[in-house]
Amino acid sequence: MSSNLAIAMHVAKKELRVQIGYRNKFIADVLSHVIGIVPILLITLALSGSSLNDIDGITRANALFVFLGYAAFMAFGFGTPIMIYTGMAWGISEELQTGTIERNFLAPVSRHTIVAGIGIYYACLYAFHVTTLMILAFFLFPSTAEIPVGNLAVAGTAALGLIALSAGLGLSSAAMFLMIRDGSLFLLFVHRPFMILSGAIFLIELLPGPLKLIALVNPVAYGVDAFRWAFSGHGTLEDPWLEVGIVWAGALVAAIVGVIVLGRVIRRQSRTGELSRI
Amino acid sequence: MIEVKNLRKEFKQNRADAGLLRMLFGRVPSETVTALEDVTFNVEEGEFYSLLGRNGAGKTTTIKVICTLLLADSGTVTVGGHDVERESSSVRAMLGVSIRGERSVYWRLSGRQNLAYFGRLYDVKGAALRNRIEEIGEIVGLSERLDDYVERYSMGMKQRLAIGCALIHRPRVLLLDEPTIGLDAASARDFRDFISHELRARENVTILYTTHYMHEAEEMSDRIGIVNHGRIVAEGTPSKIIGMVPGNSVVTIDAKNAVNIDLSTLSALDSIERVHAESLDSGSSKIRIEAVVGTEVPVADVVHRLTSLGAEIGNLSVSRPTLEDAFLRLTAD
Ligand SMILES: Nc1ncnc2c1ncn2[C@@H]1O[C@H](COP(=O)(O)OP(=O)(O)OP(=O)(O)O)[C@@H](O)[C@H]1O
Ligand SMILES: [Mg+2]
């Protein structure tokens, strides 16, 4: 039997083909992160008080701060309309509606592998978002061009850690989707809080006390901070490599929890018949 | 090959007719539907076994349990000796399944991409997969259309593709839930021929089948199980099932010069239950001869006697009880 990874990659490739089939949505998925950053940058400019043809140093520093935070958060997955559900749950919601998820579950491969395969497609999409934003940064903020290799390693592992964290949470969000057949709650209760409490677009220091505490147990915050440190030299939380470790630890926990939760939900729904309603 | 023992499955269904407020804030009233009461049957290796039953009888539920999509409340199911709950992966590897055909393929992919995708999930790959896809294209008659998006297929073509996906890994056991639904008469016939000549004669595939087309079941099945309200209420070869209901073979003859014939000479023949004649306006007679249940009217003898008594035989028709008659009787409430 082929390895689980090979099967998951195969599922991911299928997902890419299917998504390309929905052409307009696919184009939005691929490009909207670039459009998404425009209002955030404009708000930053406006709040910093510079005009567009006369940007001062402080504004530039603020804009870079926000840009890097946003780019890092893209790794966690927020750049596209799909994020209403977080990637995997989106894929699953579509397959539930079309009826193909049942057909997939008839194959002699682990059902987690099928779900994870859908997740790989989205992970690649997020990696693409981060990469393209960093290419954009190269032109917008020429200073990011001369970065030591060690810093790049921090940025890379931080971004990959955030993607892994997103995939782990994706398993739980897929499970949640199966249970309530709606992903918007996930957006409301998980994704937005993760965004606001991550320091992606403003300093965690600026949050009210209790929220600051919550933000400090959010692994995404450390990933964002490490990523930003790598390109700007400014970090606010811990040593960058320690931060990378925290992100990966979070990713591991999320993956374990996700595997267990999804397994339970699938089993439960095999009993109630909800899994095979079509 | 497939052993189903004392299978039981209940579903809890929320009632849809509760008031809106109650549905929002109260406990939603639900009722328990017993889909499978107690189902037991075996399908031998190489056998073709059909489950027949009315809508909601429990056929699809049974198939879903066998193919591991659904967990039963109690009872055991094994396929090739593997338990469906404990060794579900081995079971799935042996099975080719088609349930709700056209919904089970990706409409945004081509036929070929669907076959390639599902083939790979069953560990068929490389050149073997490519060859198999061509073969399947031939088998299900989609060779010309393999590179079209499934979206553009007709319903029957989608159904055929779904069957193709079920066959891609040469499964030893096939579970086919109403596979010929939506197929035109010619395609359905081709499909049945393929099942009998290729799958059964050459590859000795075991098949569990459901259909609402009685002639299909009668033509192809080694054995039939009639499911009613979640139980197998009758089981056996098609002729055994047909024989289970009272109903007899009847011969009807239009004859001239038969008005004065003494019908008791016919009743005296073996295995004739009843003879009845009526005169038609045209001057000829319509003679109706019923056989004793489970036997046939000795047509040659009857004709011989009638002609030797001077009658001229016109039309002659034979009718036997059908599987449909038996089905209706066995599943009547
Ligand atoms: N997922 C489900 N949830 C709740 N009830 C279900 C579910 N699936 C089936 N049932 C119920 O179980 C019973 C048996 O359904 P099943 O689909 O097995 O019938 P069937 O014999 O396949 O009928 P048909 O000929 O219409 O396909 C029905 O009463 C149905 O309402
Ligand atoms: Mg059915």
Number of CB atoms found within 10 A of residue B211's CB: 21
pLDDT of A82: 43
pLDDT at B70 over 70: yes
Distance CA B174, CA B238 (A): 20
Is B6 near chain A, with CB under 8 Å? no
B70 CA from centroid of ligand 2 (Å): 14
What is the model's pLDDT at position B128?
95
Tally of domains in chain B: 2
Residue B265 and residue B186 share a domain: no
Nearest CA in chain A to B104: A100
Segment of A31-40, B103-112, B245-254, B296-305 carrying the highest mean pLDDT: B103-112
Q: What CATH number is given to the structural domain containing B9?
A: 3.40.50.300
Strand partners of residue B289: B251, B275
Using CA of residue B87, residue B93, residue B97, residue B99, what is the dihedral sign? positive
> What tokens does B107 get?
């409409």
Query: What is the residue-wise DSSP string for B117-181?
Result: HHHHHTT--HHHHHHHHHHHHHHTT-GGGTTSBGGGS-HHHHHHHHHHHHHTT--SEEEEESTTT
Calculate mean pLDDT across residues B35-57.
95
Pairing label, strands B30-43, B74-79: unpaired
Q: How far apart are alpha carbons A32 and A14 in whole angstroms?
A: 22
Q: Is residue B42, in this structure, part of any structural domain at all?
A: yes
| Burial (CB count <10 Å: 0-12, 13-18, 19+), residue B316 | middle
**B256 shares its domain with B232:** no
- Chain B positions touching A18 (Cβ under 8 A) are 106, 108-109
> How far is residue B156's CA from residue B178's CA, in Å, rounded to a whole number?
12
Domain boundary among B176, B208, B242: B242
Assigned token pair, B198: 């290729």
CA distances from B306 to B267, B281, B285, B297 (A): 12, 20, 12, 14
| Residue carrying the six token digits 């979206």 | B151
Residue B333 lies in a domain: no
Angle at A103 between CA A98 and CA A109, to 5 degrees: 135
pLDDT value at residue A85: 44
Domain end, chosen from B242, B259, B285, is at B242
Are residues B29 and B141 both part of a single domain?
yes
Candidate from B8, B11, B70, B181 with most ligand 1 atoms within 8 A of CB, to mutate: B11
Q: Residue A81 has what pLDDT?
A: 40
Structure letter (DSSP) for residue A51: B
Q: Say yes or no: B281 and B223 in one domain.
A: no
Q: Give the three-class secondary structure for B65.
A: helix
Residue B188 lies in a domain: yes
Amino acid code (one letter) for B132: R
Please indicate if any CB of chain B lies within 8 Å of the CB of A143.
no
Residue B32 dihedral angles phi and psi, to the nearest 5°: -95, 125
Give me ligand 1 centre to Cα A135, in Å. 55
Q: Which two tokens stand for residue A275?
A: 């899994």
Chain length of chain B = 333
3-state secondary structure of B322: coil
Per-residue pLDDT tens digits of chain A, which is 278 residues long: 578 899 999 999 999 999 898 888 888 888 888 888 888 888 888 888 777 677 777 788 888 888 888 888 888 876 444 444 455 666 777 787 788 988 999 999 998 898 888 888 888 888 898 899 888 888 888 776 678 888 889 999 999 998 888 888 888 888 888 888 776 777 777 777 877 788 888 888 888 888 888 889 899 999 999 999 998 888 888 899 999 999 999 999 999 998 999 899 989 988 988 877 65
Check whether residue B22 and residue B63 sit in a common domain: yes
**B17 and B103 co-located in one domain:** yes
Interface of A with B in 83-112 (CB under 8 A): 98-100, 102-110
Report in angstroms the alpha-carbon separations of A230 from A62, A195, A233, A247, B16: 16, 20, 6, 15, 57
Enclosing domain of residue A241: 4-276
Distances (CA, A) of A169 to A29, A224, A233, B318: 20, 17, 29, 70
Q: CA-to-CA distance for B222 and B127, rounded, in angstroms?
A: 36
Q: Are A130 and A74 in contact (CB under 8 A)?
A: yes
Q: Whose CA is nearest to atom 6 of ligand 1?
A: B11
Strand partners, B34: B10
Dist CA B28 CA B196 (whole Å):
49
B127 or A231, greater pLDDT: B127
- B260 contacts B287 by C-beta, under 8 angstroms: no
Residue B297 lies in a domain: yes
Contact B2, B51 (CB under 8 A): no
Task: Let me know the angle formed at the C-alpha of B127 by B124 and B129, rounded to the nearest 5 degrees.
Answer: 35
Kindly state whether residues B21 and B38 are assigned to the same domain.
yes
Look up the domain containing B228 and give its range.
Answer: 2-242
B21, B126: one domain = yes
What is the dihedral sign for C-alpha A121, A127, A130, A134? negative
Q: How far apart are CA A185 and CA A189, in angstroms?
A: 6
B282 lies in the same domain as B303:
yes
Q: Residue B55: inside a domain, yes or no?
A: yes
Q: For the domain that residue B321 is a member of, what is the CATH number?
A: 3.30.70.1340
Torsion on CA atoms A35, A37, A39, A45, rounded to nearest 10: -140
Residue at which a domain ends, from B217, B242, B267: B242
Chain A residues in contact with B11 by the CB 8 A cut-off are 272-273
Residue B329 C-beta-side C-alpha neighbours within 13 Å: 14
Average pLDDT over all residues of chain B: 89
Q: Is B33 on the interface with A (CB under 8 A)?
A: no
Verify that B163 and B27 share a domain, yes or no: yes
Q: How many domains does chain A have?
A: 1
Helices (H), chain B: 20-25, 59-66, 88-94, 111-121, 126-139, 155-167, 185-193, 214-220, 238-243, 264-267, 299-308, 323-330
Q: What is the pLDDT of residue A144?
A: 64
* CA–CA distance, B265 with B173 (Å, rounded to integer): 55
Q: How far apart are CA B192 and CA B22, in angstroms?
A: 51
pLDDT at position B2 is: 95
Nearest CB to B121 within list A7, A267, A275: A7
Residues B62, B122, single domain; the answer is: yes
Residues B272 and B181 occupy one common structural domain: no
Report the nearest atom of ligand 1 relative to the CA of B51. Answer: 21
